[in-house]
Structure 1
Amino acid sequence: MNFAEFLNTNAEKFSIKPAIGFKKKDVWKEIHWLDFRRMVFKTANALKEAGISANDRVAIYSDNSAEWITFDLAILALGAVTVPIYSTNNGSQAEYIINNSEAKIILVGNQEQYDAAFEILNKENTLQQIVVSKKAIWIKKDRSIYFEDFIKKAEEHFDIVQKEDDDLATIIYTSGTTGVPKGVMLTHGNFHNAIRAHFGFFKFKNFENETSLAFLPLTHVFERSWTLLALYGGAKVYFLENTKLIAHALTEVKPTMMCAVPRFYQKIYAGVNEMVQNGSESKKKIFNWAINVGTQVSELKRLEKPVPFSLGFKNNIADLLVFNKIKKKMGGKLWFMPCGGASVSPEVTKFFDAMGIHMTVGYGLTETTATLTAFPFTKYEHGSAGIPLGDTQIKIGENDEILAKGSGVMKGYYKLPKETAEVFTEDGWFKTGDAGKFDENGNLYITDRIKDLMKTANGKYITPQPIENLLSNNNFINQAMIVAEDKPFVTALIIPNFEALKEQLPKMNIPFTNWQEIVDSEKVKEFYREKLEEIQKALSGFEKVKKFVLMPAEFEINTGEITPTLKVKRNVVMQKYAALIDKMYTS
């Protein structure tokens, strides 16, 4: 069955209930299920009239928007194949994906994307037309059309093209921390089975009453799978186009559910802790008391034990005095937050648990339609990646590599039979490239990326992610990248939290000039040395960062230093800042 069939089911079941929300001229608008299906079907007919048929590839090169998800579902309904391109990809990266996938039509979301797509359109390739989502974008008329005009004359009735489970639904090009992006082929069956596995695992009640906010890029398998799951289950999904406005969107939309990467939660955790540290002694006492009470309650709930009346009463007071103020900044209604894309410290998950917000940590890859394992609602273990979902099977192979089987595992890499064969064992297990272990209760622990495991010149093994998480859990550190491979000791490139540091400068009697001068200041370096000493107390001597460089700017997606999910591309950063790194070992 075509995955897009849920549109018919939900349009009949929920008809005038809102399906999606989006911002237009600073006001949030909603579209109900009947109109949403109508818009998707008009788009499918328009694509058909433009010459798209089953198995043709259609690209989406845009930030999150109502048009993004409409185009995606229309492509699937038509039996064609969606090829998402990260909105932050530059023209040459987009061109590689368009050429490799042989996409015929592309939806773009902003002027920069349109200009890049138009340049590609005028080269010899398969691209035939650009559809532009917003009329605010200036376009050349040559084979370019606004989305509104593209669907204007299209019919509203559409018969969804029948598909088998093994039929291709999408090709997602992995951003990857190494090498050229590979096109991951996911099928209609992959999406169906992954989503059914989640509903079977979590057993949500009244899911159609939930509200989700899509702010991670829909191009990424995590947000796309989650958003499709939310729509499949009849929940309302709002689309945030400008991720910088997340703080405002949370209070305006008031989502009940939302997926995010660890950086999002780490910054809230670090910000709250910094605020408490700078507060009065009485505020510190109240906060610590509230966290202590909340932790006791969350631990009892985690272990499925009853909460005594007196403890429950104290927790209500803790909620009133402390937790509600934090939760209101997140909209006040969040209760379920899937978290993936990188590892997250147990301190962070325990903190949110204490407030009554369940961070559902999961583990998966683009190649596995996102989730392989996740925290259940109870009996989960902090620090783990949870237990397998659905029909997922996991075992630990050579070098502690995590191997997976199940109906969420990809069909293969597009046009890359050799690379596909390399990531599967002879008996069909997918090799994740991550190292892990199970505890006695079946919880999976990710120990590290096998490729990221570092061996110092002294023969000591360093797993960078836990150390990097420890550092970036501090409010003054936005991101850190550990260097240790073949080196005599551990060093780090540190991106400060520029906002927090700027507030700190007057206390250090340092006038702000520019960030390069600030990070070169001996006073600022000493401030960070003290922070590192404090943060690293529990680490073994060989794991501690001995020297560091403070960077004057964030790592950038468009320069290839980080992936769109904010993971550092180590090889790119190592090469780009080789001189800075060498200096730490020679000076």
Structure 2
Amino acid sequence: MTSDKQFCSGFQQARQAGCLSDLLLASPAEWLDKPLLRYRSSDGEWNSWSRIKVQQAVLRLAAWLEFKGVRPGDRVGILGHNCPEWFIADFAILRLGAVTVPAYFTDPPEAVQYVLDDAGVSLVFVEEGDQLHKLDGVDVERLPFHGDAESISTITCDEQWDNALKASCPDRSQLATLIYTSGTTGFPKGVMLTHDNILSDVAAGIGGVPVFEDDLFLSFLPASHAFERTVGHFLPAACGSQIAYAEAITTLLRDMPEVSPTIMISVPRLYEKIYAGVQAKLAAGPGLKRKLFNLAQKLGMERFELRQQGSDLAGGKALLWKILDGVVNAKLREKMGGNIRGFISGGAALHPDIARFLLAADIMVLPGYGLTETSPVLSVNRMENIKPATVGAALPGVEFKLARDGELLVKGPMVMQGYWKRPEETAEVFDADGWLCTGDIVEMDDDGFITIVDRKKEIMVLSNGENVPPATVEQHLNQDPCFLQSMVIADNRPYVSALIVPDGAGLAAVWQQEKFAVLPDDWRQNSEVTAWVLQRMRHDEHDLSSFMQVKRFAFVDEEWTQDSGLLTPTLKLKRRKICEVHHALIESLYPEAVEE
């Protein structure tokens, strides 16, 4: 059971903290013996460290770093997967008053080395194995860790030093971290965030979505990204909650039922995959199963809307819902651990149909919005007031206004200090009155709820002058069980086309259901399949203007991944790189231009 007292403890913890390390080290006494960090050990079992054990490890490591010569303001790197040692290293660095510089474990060596060099890092905590090899040839001291929490103790096992930490706590105005932007275009920039920036965002986040002592987070997004770092790292530390570390994004389906999390932080790609998987299974299953699912969705959405108004289903509908929920939705929730209180979605806009699908299945999803430059969360849907097509209203302390072209401008204590060593680029993102220009074109309703249209720089202009927001089109396509991924091409072109990464199994199942035949072996080049896929696209895009609808497409053989360098750590498309890789394929979609 949760309580207002539990919520207030976390909120006050964030509001009153003198620095970020206080979220851990100034905990209420009743939290000390409770589990804080959970991880899978080498024998496959889940182990945990209590809060007091983590506190002791943080203070010892901070003192050891001080002994090694690290001083307030020095930059210290972390490179590795999410794990207890990542958490401990970060809090130790921050307690010392040094600056944490996280690098993305999915980045290639040259990208990692660029970040460490640009930040002036001289010492880095690095996961052994492939991550350690990324530092080959780099003049930086390395502190290897294993990913199982225990190796932090071995780092400081030397008996020839005084483990008393001498440095005083940093104050809220000091620089806490440099978080490098994902770099969808150009070189990444180091976003300068102070202790106050992040603490303000943590407090605002708790004010928007209350988090309690008995909540359990399952962490899988990179902790090097601002979204996971603030909401899945600092925020649970402030609230006395537990954090369990998924072994990898590929193990989520195994880890969720084992951990039974109550809260998860994710990007839309996870929900898109869940939705597409359900749709593919329905397409391959009997008609009765699809009818029951559709009925459960319809009734579930009616129930959701009533509950948002403080009411509920009654009589026969309530009984029917109970039966359908047990038959249709319960298994889906069980695969997620059966205990989810809320999914917080960020990093990109979530398609409203996918949000409605989850909400109708009694899976609370809360779309939100933010930027690395704002620590990062600015808005989120509240559990008692969800508008699925939006990313919610401003968090407490956040101010929004719209520029003439629809760009969202923001002010608040969570807004960054600027870009590291880039004063000119810092000046470019602030207007004359000090508002941060987000670069996102949005719409705002009368209640202050924000709907994302697209990135200002990514809006494409057809050769006839029509504006095409690619993310909007891609959202419509990505909900189709036949497609794993899509990327729109439109800029300076006569019409919209798309590259499609197909879901072979999903496509075969839907074809079987609709055509009552086996998918042809040559389906990638088959004209009948091509025509059928275009028909599906028309259906997916039925509510878009005709000029925004895809006229031609091409299948791509391999899924775009972080390892291939075609996705950012939050699974956004690196459009420029994808265009470079598939240049010939893209040009084949515009034969008229070739003929000219």
TM-score, normalization by structure 2: 0.90
* Secondary structure, aligned partner of 1:3: coil
Quickly say closer, same or farther: Cα 1:583–1:306, change in 2 above 3 A. closer
1:553-568 map, 5 Å: 553-568=558-573
For structure 2, which runs of at least 5 residues remain unmatched after alignment? 1-17
Q: How many residues align?
A: 566
Please say if residues 75 and 101 of structure 2, whose CA atoms lie closer than 8 Å, have aligned partners that are also in contact.
Answer: yes
- Work out whether 1:103 is the aligned partner of 2:110: no
Residue number in structure 1 paired with 2:146: 134
Aligned residue in 2 for 1:166: 173
**Aligned match of 1:490:** 496
Equivalent residue for 1:48?
66
Distance 1:57 1:74, change over 3 A: same
2:551 paired residue number: 546
Q: Matched residues in 1 for 2:235 and 2:294: separation?
A: 37
Distance 1:354 1:90, change over 3 A: same
Quote the Cα distance in structure 1 between the aligned partners of 2:33 and 2:182.
Answer: 38
Greater Cα shift, 269-278 or 543-552: 269-278
State the distance in 2 between where 1:305 and 1:560 align: 48
d(CA) in 2 for partners of 1:544 and 1:59?
Answer: 45
The question of 1:288 aligning with 2:294 is answered yes
TM norm structure 1 = 0.92
1:64 is aligned to 2:82? yes
Contact 1:11–1:33 under 8 Å retained in 2: no
Q: Does residue 118 in structure 1 map to residue 123 in structure 2?
A: no
Distance 1:182 1:459, change over 3 A: same
Aligned-partner Cα distance in 2 for 1:290–1:306? 15
Matches within 5 A, 1:510-529: 510=520, 519-520=524-525, 522=527, 525-526=530-531, 528-529=533-534
Q: Using a 3 Å threshold, how does the CA distance of structure 1 residues 509 and 294 change in structure 2: closer, same or farther?
A: closer
Provide the rounded CA distance (Å) in 2 between the counterparts of 1:166 and 1:478: 44
Could you tell me which residue of structure 2 aligns to residue 17 of structure 1?
34
SS in 2 for 1:482: strand
Cα shift readout 1:167-219 (whole Å, capped 9, x = no counterpart): 10000000132111000011100111111112222344xx0101100001111
CA distance in 2, matches of 1:289, 1:236: 37
1: CA distance between counterparts of 2:101 and 2:320?
51
Q: Which residue of structure 1 aligns with residue 341 of structure 2?
A: 335
- Over 3 Å counting, the alpha-carbon distance change for 1:510 and 1:156 in structure 2 is farther
* Range with bigger deviation, 301-310 or 288-297: 301-310
Distance 2:436 2:33 in 1: 43
Letter in 1 for 2:23: F
Structure 1 residue 12: deviation in Å?
Answer: 2.5
Secondary structure at 2:39's aligned position in 1? strand
Provide, for residues 441-488 of structure 1, a one-character-per-residue CA deviation record: whole Å limited to 9, x for no partner: 211121111111111112211111111011010112111110111101
Residues 80-101 of structure 1: CA distance to partner in whole angstroms, max 9, x if unpaired?
1000100011111111111110
Partner Cα distance (1:71, 1:231) in 2: 14
Are the counterparts in 2 of residues 304 and 379 from structure 1 also a CA contact under 8 Å?
no
1: CA distance between counterparts of 2:453 and 2:144?
44
Matches within 5 A, 1:307-322: 307-308=313-314, 310-322=316-328
Aligned to 2:177, what secondary structure does the other structure show?
strand
Once residues 230 and 451 of structure 1 are traced to their aligned partners in structure 2, the CA distance between those partners, rounded to angstroms, is: 34
Q: Is the 8 A contact 1:335 1:356 kept in 2?
A: no
Larger CA deviation: 307-316 vs 231-240: 307-316
Match of 1:233 in 2: 239
Alignment match of 1:208 (pick from 210, 213, 222): 213
Greater displacement, 570-579 / 355-364? 570-579
**Could you tell me how far apart the structure 2 residues matched to 1:527 and 1:67 are?**
51
Distance in 1 separating the partners of 2:164 and 2:245: 26
Q: Is the Cα–Cα contact under 8 Å of residues 283 and 509 in structure 2 kept in the other structure?
A: no
Distance in structure 2 (CA, Å) of the matches to 1:163 and 1:569: 37
Over the matched positions of the two proteins, sequence identity in percent amounts to: 32
User: Which residue of 1, 5, 19 corresponds with 1:2?
Assistant: 19
Contact 1:383 1:445 in 2 (8 A): yes
Separation in structure 2 between the aligned mates of residue 159 and residue 230 of structure 1, nearest angstrom: 28
In the TM superposition, what is the alpha-carbon distance from 1:549 to its structure 2 partner? 1.1
Instruction: Indicate conservation of the 8 Å contact 1:2/1:79, yes or no.
Output: no
Deviations 1:397-442 (A, max 9, x none): 1321100000110111001111001100111100000011211121
Offset from partner CA, 1:103-153 (integer Å, 9 cap, x none): 1211112422211213213xxxxx2x11111299xxxxxxxx964431224
Shift of 1:498: 4.4
Change (3 A) 1:499 1:59: farther
**Structure 1 residues 509 and 495, CA, compared in 2 at 3 Å: closer, same or farther?**
closer
In structure 2, the residue corresponding to 1:31 is in which secondary structure? strand
1:326-365 → structure 2 map (5 Å cutoff): 326-365=332-371
Q: Is the 8 A contact 2:101 2:119 kept in 1?
A: yes
Q: 1:546 to 1:198 in 2, by over 3 A?
A: same
Q: 1:258 to 1:203 in 2, by over 3 A?
A: closer
Distance between the aligned counterparts of 1:88 and 1:503, measured in 2? 33
**Aligned residue number for residue 31 of structure 1:** 49
The one-character-per-residue Cα deviations of 1:52-102 (angstroms, maximum 9, x if unpaired) are 111110111111111111111111111110001000111111111111101
| Cα pair distance change 1:537/1:390, threshold 3 Å | closer
Rounded Cα–Cα distance in structure 1 between residues aligned with 2:469 and 2:524? 27
**1:267 — aligned with what?**
273
> Paired residue for 1:249?
255
CA contact (8 A) 1:2 1:160 kept: no
d(CA) in 1 for partners of 2:568, 2:320: 43
Alignment partner of 2:156: what SS?
Answer: helix
- 2:503, 2:426 → 1: CA distance? 40
Which of 92, 104, 116 is the matching residue for 1:74? 92
Q: AA paired with 1:270?
A: A
| 2:593 pairs with 1:583 | no
Shift of 1:346: 1.0
Report the Cα distance in structure 1 between the residues aligned to 2:538 and 2:312, rounded to whole angstroms. 41
Shift of 1:347: 0.9
Contact 1:252 1:331 in 2 (8 A): yes
1:417 pairs, out of 415, 423, 427, with 423
Is the Cα contact below 8 Å between 2:127 and 2:146 reproduced in 1?
yes
* One-letter amino acid matched to 1:181: P
Contact 1:118-1:130 within 8 A present in 2 as well: no
Tell me, what secondary structure is at the counterpart of 1:73? helix
In structure 2, distance between residues paired with 1:510 and 1:41? 63
Question: Equivalents in 2 of 1:538, 1:277: separation in Å?
Answer: 23
Deviation of 1:528 after TM superposition, in Å, equals 2.9
1:394 aligns with 2:412: no
What SS does the aligned partner of 1:508 have? coil
d(CA) in 2 for partners of 1:286, 1:398: 47
Q: Please give the alpha-carbon distance, in whole angstroms, between the structure 1 residues aligned to 2:326 and 2:45.
A: 31
> Using a 3 Å threshold, how does the CA distance of structure 1 residues 447 and 135 change in structure 2: closer, same or farther?
closer
Q: Which amino acid aligns with 1:114?
A: L
Q: 2:208–2:380: 8 Å Cα contact kept in structure 1?
A: no
Q: Which residue of 2 aligns with 1:508?
A: 518
C-alpha contact (below 8 Å) 2:410/2:437 kept by paired residues: yes
Comparing 149-158 and 564-573, the one that deviates more: 149-158
Deviations 1:14-69 (A, max 9, x none): 12110010111211111111111112122212222221111110111111111111
Which residue does 1:366 correspond to in 2?
Answer: 372
SS of residue in 1 equivalent to 2:136: helix
Check the 8 A contact 1:294/1:318 in 2, yes or no: no
Q: CA deviation at 1:524?
A: 5.2
Opposite residue 38 of structure 1, the aligned amino acid is Q
Tell me the equivalent position of 1:177: 184
Q: Is the 8 A contact 1:519 1:551 kept in 2?
A: no
